[in-house]
Chains A and B, each alone.
Chain A
Amino acid sequence: ILNVEQSPQSLHVQEGDSTNFTCSFPSSNFYALHWYRWETAKSPEALFVMTLNGDEKKKGRISATLNTKEGYSYLYIKGSQPEDSATYLCALDRGSTLGRLYFGRGTQLTVWP
């Protein structure tokens, strides 16, 4: 069993607040780390695919960092908006089997106007 842990499980913030979540994973056999945004009844939306230790990626108000040596990634949202409300998933890709991702349980974000 491969444990990918996400914290917190849920988060409630006010509009305009900045927030961050954590994804921790086993650092051995690392290939890539995927972040997704998942709204109910919609397809999970790919945010980032991170492959390099120390990598930092940004998409609008959302950014992510990666530390493969210690096995964690942070996702940051600057100036949260109600439309950011969703479940954010991280998934470990070990590269051994194409398409096989190990997901965390997600962080459910609610942004109040």
Chain B
Amino acid sequence: SAVISQKPSRDICQRGTSLTIQCQVDSQVTMMFWYRQQPGQSLTLIATANQGSEATYESGFVIDKFPISRPNLTFSTLTVSNMSPEDSSIYLCSVGRGSTDTQYFGPGTRLTVL
């Protein structure tokens, strides 16, 4: 199994500002994933982050809005830029061990944008 921690656990931010969310894994992993859950919606993949290369973004998500860093095999950050109230969500990072293995998730960062 993988133990994943995230910082901060929650935050309240003003519109127009940016927030960087940190994700730390207790073991080295090739790929890390960032998901979000908007209120009343399903968990949705934002992007996949590989160490040493640019993140791959899903349709509807762009690097300028959600820049991602992946400096090593145990750590990643997601920045939510120029926030608006629509960015209020729970953001989770995730790692996996292959398609049929379990996908593990962090505890999430609950973001409220005023």
Q: A41-B107, A105-B41 are in contact. Are A49 and B102 (CB under 8 A)?
A: yes
Contact A99 B41 (CB under 8 A): no
Q: Which residues B25-48 have CB closer than 8 A to chain A? A: 31, 33, 40-45, 48
Contact A98 B99 (CB under 8 A): yes
Is B9 close to A, CB under 8 A? yes
Contact digits for A74-104, partner B, Cβ 8 Å, 1 yes 0 no = 0000000000000001010101011111111
Is B96 close to A, CB under 8 A? yes
CA distance A106 to B94 in the complex (A): 18
Contact B102 A91 (CB under 8 A): no
| Residues of A within 8 A of B (CB-CB), count | 26
| A interface, over-half SS | loop
CA distance A102 to B106 in the complex (A): 17
Residues of B within 8 A of A46 (CB): 102-104
Residues of B within 8 A of A106 (CB): 42
Residues of B within 8 A of A97 (CB): 48
Q: Which residues A28-57 have CB closer than 8 A to chain B? A: 31-32, 34, 36, 41-44, 46, 49, 51
CA distance A44 to B103 in the complex (A): 10
Contact digits for B86-114, partner A, Cβ 8 Å, 1 yes 0 no = 00000010111011111111111010000
Contact A103 B44 (CB under 8 A): yes
Contact A93 B99 (CB under 8 A): yes
